[in-house]
A = this chain, B = another copy of it.
Amino acid sequence: MAESNALPLVLLAEQFAKLPGIGMKSAQRLAYHVMSMSDNEAQAFADAILHAHKTVHTCKTCQNLTDKVICPICSDTGRDHSIICVVETPKDVTAFERTKEYKGVYHVLHGLISPIDGITPDKLKIKELLSRINNSEVSEVIMATNPTVEGEATAMYISKLLKPLDIKVTRLAFGIPIGGSLEYADEITLFKALENRNEI
């Protein structure tokens, strides 16, 4: 921000610019917006940041973000606790919940194996997944990581760990997205769709 601006405004804009997907220009606009808030609104905004940061932590069971000791999904007795859907981030849990179809529970890894970024398996919530499987009756583990190199590697790594435990390990289906067009599908997606074809 140009030096024509007040320093606290510049500092606030710099804070906004640290957020993902917010450039310096948007950050300035957001900082100006804070100036137009009422005292109460600015206080509520700052409080929401501190309150969320202080009270939200990972669920003891599934590692999803929650402000309870055990998250609402893990403490819901109406769900099937023998099926665990393993995902990368809490955002993925939200995505699956939006489908309103999945009735099992989740396990959030908080990342994917990526040696190049220094993310080794011990940095993920994999041992928590194993101890959970050892301490409860689990019939199926669905590997629901993204179809990327890291997502595939993580799914493979965990499925190998689970092999000796004699638990059904499944992987999400990958193929042509609904509403998508064959014409515009890339080769790998098309190959996957062909490879995983189902009888009708």
Contact = CB atoms under 8 A, between A and B. Distances in A.
Interface string A18-43: 11111000101111111101010111
**A interface, over-half SS:** helix
Contacts of A6: 52, 55-56, 65-68, 71
Nearest to A43: B50
A3 interface: yes
Number of copies of this chain that the complex holds: 2
Interface residues of A, number: 59
A67 B29 contact: no
Nearest to A49: B46
A94 B5 contact: yes
A71 B7 CA distance: 11
Contacts of A43: 50
Interface string A119-146: 0000000000000000000000000000
A3 B33 contact: no
Interface stretch (A9-17, A171-179, A187-195): A9-17
Nearest to A55: B8
A45 to B, nearest CB: 5
Contacts of A21: 26, 29
Contacts of A56: 6, 8-9, 35
Contacts of A22: 30
22 contacts: A4-B64, A4-B93, A6-B52, A6-B55, A6-B56, A6-B67, A8-B55, A9-B56, A9-B65, A12-B49, A19-B30, A20-B33, A22-B30, A28-B91, A32-B65, A32-B90, A42-B49, A43-B50, A45-B49, A46-B47, A46-B49, A46-B50
Given A6-B55, A28-B94, 18 more contacts: A2-B94, A4-B64, A5-B94, A6-B65, A8-B48, A8-B56, A9-B56, A12-B49, A15-B44, A15-B49, A18-B45, A19-B30, A20-B29, A31-B52, A34-B53, A35-B56, A45-B49, A46-B50
